Structure formats: structure tokens, C-alpha cells
């Protein structure tokens, strides 16, 4: 019996050793493969610092089932709650990525100023996160933008320059001024460095003599250590924020079980980053654009040409307000939008967006901004085109709080004949 017991013991030990080795090997292979799967040609992902304070609270937002829309369409309609980011919108991700990439590349230094020409969420997000990186924020906005916008930005510590609205081709368009301000901040910083070298002392130690003219010629602190133009439309850090963040989060939160993604585009960063990531993971996931009135992207996606009805009718100059939605719709191609992988596009109207916002408020308790409402219009359109049983994901970009003076103002809506009247989803053909 003894030799038999020994033989059994040997077999058991050998089996255990083999299974441990297989488990260890598969762990390493699995780990390697999963790392390989998430790494991509577009990633510039560096290891994150251990604890990044406020910045760590950005992203990883909940993906919720929008019950009313899911029940009405027979699809699972999911919304990514980007309004829960600390700066209140999806643009927090973009602000972090733009600043981190600029710091890593040495294009922005601590003590430097990030400039942006934007009246919207990106400026608010940049102003929110810049101090976390030891930087300042300077925002140039058209002087017809709501006064609350500059008040919020100034309260956040940004400097704000309100300028006359002119065409983007004009050198004094607010985006062009913002670009110029970054150059000026760099020139000022290099002048300071030269003075520093000549005196061999720190300027402050030296009573830092700077002429009054030099002080007046600058909109920045005289000790600013340079500038960086965020350039959210063309800077692909915007795309990467979604390709490396929003897209992978959606994939993980759905366990890869989704059929479609839909979003509107303002710079194109969100729709491009998410669509590209999801389609690389599974080419069967359909990605769509929902386009507001006045935007040329619907025609770009469906026919390959940038074109709007409003432009063709020569209405653009007479009526610049083609849509009351904010932050979405484009009439020029951007580097960020060019990265998108889209299967199709839908058009949404202002009336649909207004009705949708009130429907979601009444039925789900969701208080959303105009672009989120338009995205939900898109989600229903996609659900209708795919049929029941599918999972459709969209983005809830910001909350209704930022939209009180227009999108949620009954007098403003009445002026544009957009007073909501629907009781259900009849405005989208659902009884
Ligand atoms: C509130 C809001 N929603 C949506 C968007 C569009 O996102 P993207 O610029 O990624 O296309 C923007 C862009 O500025 C925005 O401000």
C-alpha cells in the first residue's frame, strides 16, 4: 500500500504543480494580451501620478439606463453621465488631456497660461483644472456671449477678454486672438528669462524692474512662464481624451455588449474618439452622428460634402442663429472630426431637443443641457432604425444648470416658437 500511496501523492503534487504553472502562465499571457488589447497606435498614455487630486475625480462617470426612452423604444438606451464631472461637463476630460500633453511635451510650463477662444464648456473646464497643474487660464470670448459665462470664468480665476464678434477668417476673431495671446505670453516669458540672465539674478530679488510699457502691453501676470494655445478644434489631445477615456469606459461598463453609439459634434473630439475606439474593439458596433440645424456635418457624413441648407439659401448672414443648441454643429472640417468612424447620420431639430429635455425631466428626473437632449433625440432615432432589442449608448454632456437663460427660459423659447407642447414622445413618432 505504501508505494501506492507514495505514487498517488506524487501524482497529486505533480498535477497541482502543473495546474499552478498553467494558471501562472495563463495569467501572464492574459495580462500581456489584455494590455496589448488596450494599447493602441493613437495612445499617448503615460503612467498617471499616484494621486492627482481633483484630476482623479474626472472621468469614470456612471453609464445609466434612460428608463423612459428604453421602455418606449424596446432598446436599452444608456447615457454616460458626463455632467457629473467636477467642472460640470464632458470637457473636463479634454482640458486635462490638453494640459497634460502640453506639459509632457514641454510646450507648457508650470506657472504658464493656457489660452482658449471659447464661450463654452471647454473654457470652464480649462479654468477649473489649470490651477491643479500650477497653471493659469486666459479665455477670449465674443462680447455677445451671456455675461454669466465670463462671470463663471472669472470666479474660477481665469482672465477673460471679451471681444467684438467677427468672422473666423478675421485676425481678431476670438479664437485667433487666443492663439496670439499664447505667442505673446511666450515672448514675454523669454524676455523675462533674458533679463534674468543679464542680471544673473531672479527678477524679484532684483526688484524686477520692468517698464510700465511692458507691463501695460501684457494681459498676463508679468511673471507668467509662457503660454500654450489649447486649440480644442485641431488639437488631437481632444480626440485622445475620448479614445483613451470615454470609449474604453463605455466598452467596460457594457462588457462590450452594445450595438450602437450616437453623439453630436462640436469639435468632433467625442464622437471621433469614442467611435474609433469602439469600432476597433468590434467593427459591428454602429456609430452615428446626430446633427443640429445649421451644421454641415450631416451632409459630410451622408454625401461626403460639407454643405448646409442655410448656406445654400444665403440665410447664414441674415440669421446666424440656426440652432439654439449650444456647443454642437460645425461648418468646417476639424482635425478631431476627421478621426471619426461613422456609419451614418441623423438630423435633429431644435424643437425635438427642447421637447426631449422636458420629457426626460418629467419622466426620468434628468435635467440636461441642449446638446445632451439632442444626443438623446439621436439615441431614439438610432433605436428606431435598428429595431427593439439593441443597446444604444450616448453622452449626457452637461446639465441644464448651464442653460437656464436660453434653453430653459420660456420667454426665449417662445421668441423662437419653440415652446414645448408634447405630452409623450409623439414628436419622434412614438405614440
Ligand atoms: C455642452 C457641449 N456638449 C457637446 C459638445 C460637443 O463635443 P465635442 O466638442 O467633443 O464634439 C460640446 C463642445 O464644446 C459642448 O460644449
Which atom of ligand 1 sits closest to the CA of residue 402?
Answer: 1
Spell out the long-range contacts of 62-71 with Cβ–Cβ below 8 A and sequence spacing 24 or more. 63/249, 63/250, 63/253, 63/254, 63/393, 66/360, 66/364, 66/366, 66/376, 66/379, 67/363, 67/364, 68/359, 68/360, 68/363, 68/364, 69/360, 69/376, 69/379, 69/380, 69/383, 69/425
Range of the domain at 327: 55-84+246-309+318-426
In tens digits, the chain (431 residues) has pLDDT values of 444 455 544 454 444 444 444 444 444 343 333 333 444 567 665 545 456 799 999 999 999 999 999 999 999 999 999 999 999 999 999 999 999 999 999 999 999 999 999 878 999 999 999 999 999 999 999 887 778 778 899 999 999 999 998 888 899 999 999 999 999 999 888 887 777 666 555 444 444 444 444 444 456 666 688 999 999 999 999 999 999 999 999 999 999 999 999 999 999 999 999 999 999 999 999 999 999 999 999 999 999 988 776 655 554 443 445 889 998 998 889 999 999 999 999 999 999 999 999 999 999 999 999 999 999 999 999 999 999 999 999 999 999 998 998 999 999 999 999 999 999 999 999 98
Say if residues 232 and 118 touch (Cβ distance below 8 Å): yes
How many angstroms separate the alpha carbon of residue 266 from the centre of ligand 1? 5
Secondary element (H or E) of residue 137: strand 136-142
Number of folded domains that form the chain: 2
Say if residues 287 and 271 touch (Cβ distance below 8 Å): yes
Substitution site in 124, 240, 266 for ligand 1 pocket (most atoms within 8 Å of beta carbon): 266
Which of 89, 59, 110 has its CA nearest to residue 225? 110
How many angstroms separate the alpha carbon of residue 417 from the centre of ligand 1? 25
Q: Is 95 found in the same domain as 78?
A: no
Q: Is residue 5 part of a domain?
A: no
DSSP conformation letters of 67-85: HHHHHHHSSEEEEEEGGGS
Instruction: Check pocket membership of 289 for ligand 1, CB cut-off 6 A.
Output: no
Q: Is 122 found in the same domain as 64?
A: no
Instruction: Check pocket membership of 88 for ligand 1, CB cut-off 6 A.
Output: no
Q: Is residue 350 part of a domain?
A: yes
Which CATH number goes with the domain that contains 104? 3.40.50.1100
Q: Is 190 found in the same domain as 261?
A: no
Quote the cell numbers at residue 114.
493656457
pTM of the predicted protein model: 0.84
Instruction: Check pocket membership of 397 for ligand 1, CB cut-off 6 A.
Output: yes
Instruction: Give the whole-angstrom CA distance, residue 368 versus residue 348.
Output: 16
Q: Is 182 found in the same domain as 267?
A: no
Q: Is 371 found in the same domain as 259?
A: yes
Q: Is 144 found in the same domain as 98?
A: yes
Q: Is 181 found in the same domain as 94?
A: yes
Q: Is 170 found in the same domain as 275?
A: no
Q: Is 304 found in the same domain as 187?
A: no
Say if residues 68 and 360 touch (Cβ distance below 8 Å): yes
Instruction: Give the whole-angstrom CA distance, residue 62 versus residue 78.
Output: 10
How many angstroms separate the alpha carbon of residue 118 from the centre of ligand 1? 11
Instruction: Check pocket membership of 370 for ligand 1, CB cut-off 6 A.
Output: no
Instruction: Check pocket membership of 325 for ligand 1, CB cut-off 6 A.
Output: no
Amino acid at each position: 500500500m505504501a508505494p501506492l500511496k507514495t505514487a498517488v501523492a506524487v501524482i497529486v503534487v505533480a498535477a497541482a504543480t502543473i495546474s499552478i504553472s498553467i494558471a501562472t502562465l495563463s495569467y501572464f499571457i492574459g495580462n500581456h494580451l489584455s494590455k496589448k488589447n488596450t494599447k493602441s497606435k493613437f495612445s499617448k498614455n503615460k503612467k498617471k501620478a499616484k494621486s492627482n487630486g481633483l484630476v482623479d475625480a474626472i472621468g469614470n462617470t456612471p453609464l445609466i439606463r434612460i428608463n423612459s426612452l428604453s421602455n418606449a423604444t424596446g432598446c436599452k438606451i444608456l447615457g454616460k453621465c458626463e455632467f457629473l464631472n467636477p467642472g460640470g461637463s464632458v470637457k473636463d476630460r479634454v482640458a486635462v488631456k490638453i494640459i497634460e500633453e502640453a506639459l509632457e511635451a514641454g510646450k507648457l510650463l508650470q506657472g504658464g497660461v493656457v489660452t482658449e477662444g471659447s464661450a463654452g464648456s471647454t473654457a470652464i473646464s480649462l479654468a477649473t483644472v489649470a490651477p491643479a497643474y500650477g497653471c493659469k487660464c486666459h479665455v477670449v470670448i465674443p462680447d455677445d456671449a451671456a455675461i454669466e459665462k465670463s462671470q463663471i470664468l472669472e470666479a474660477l480665476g481665469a482672465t477673460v477678454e471679451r471681444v467684438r464678434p467677427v468672422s473666423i477668417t478675421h485676425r481678431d476673431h476670438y479664437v485667433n486672438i487666443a492663439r496670439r495671446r499664447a505667442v505673446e505670453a511666450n515672448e514675454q516669458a523669454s524676455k523675462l528669462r533674458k533679463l534674468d540672465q543679464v542680471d544673473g539674478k531672479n527678477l524679484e530679488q532684483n526688484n524686477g524692474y520692468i517698464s510700465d510699457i511692458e507691463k501695460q502691453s501684457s494681459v498676463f501676470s508679468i511673471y507668467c512662464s509662457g503660454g500654450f494655445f489649447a486649440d480644442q478644434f485641431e488639437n488631437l489631445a481632444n480626440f485622445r481624451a475620448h479614445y483613451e477615456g470615454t470609449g474604453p469606459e463605455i466598452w467596460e461598463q457594457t462588457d462590450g455588449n452594445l450595438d450602437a453609439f450616437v453623439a453630436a459634434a462640436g469639435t468632433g473630439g467625442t464622437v471621433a474618439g469614442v467611435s474609433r475606439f469602439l469600432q476597433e474593439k468590434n467593427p459591428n458596433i454602429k456609430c452615428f452622428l446626430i446633427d443640429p440645424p445649421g451644421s454641415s456635418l450631416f451632409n459630410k457624413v451622408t454625401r461626403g460634402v460639407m454643405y448646409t441648407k442655410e448656406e445654400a439659401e444665403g440665410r447664414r448672414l441674415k440669421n446666424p442663429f440656426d440652432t439654439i443648441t449650444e456647443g454642437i454643429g460645425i461648418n468646417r472640417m476639424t482635425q478631431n472630426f476627421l478621426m471619426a468612424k461613422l456609419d451614418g447620420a441623423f438630423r435633429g431639430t431644435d424643437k425635438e431637443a427642447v421637447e426631449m429635455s422636458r420629457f426626460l425631466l418629467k419622466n426620468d428626473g434628468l435635467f440636461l443641457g441642449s446638446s445632451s437632449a439632442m444626443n438623446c433625440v439621436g439615441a431614439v432615432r438610432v433605436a428606431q432604425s435598428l429595431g427593439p432589442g439593441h443597446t444604444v449608448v450616448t453622452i449626457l454632456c452637461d446639465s441644464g444648470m448651464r442653460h437656464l437663460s436660453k434653453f430653459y427660459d420660456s420667454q426665449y423659447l417662445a421668441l423662437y416658437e419653440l415652446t414645448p407642447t408634447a405630452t409623450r414622445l409623439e414628436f419622434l413618432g412614438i405614440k
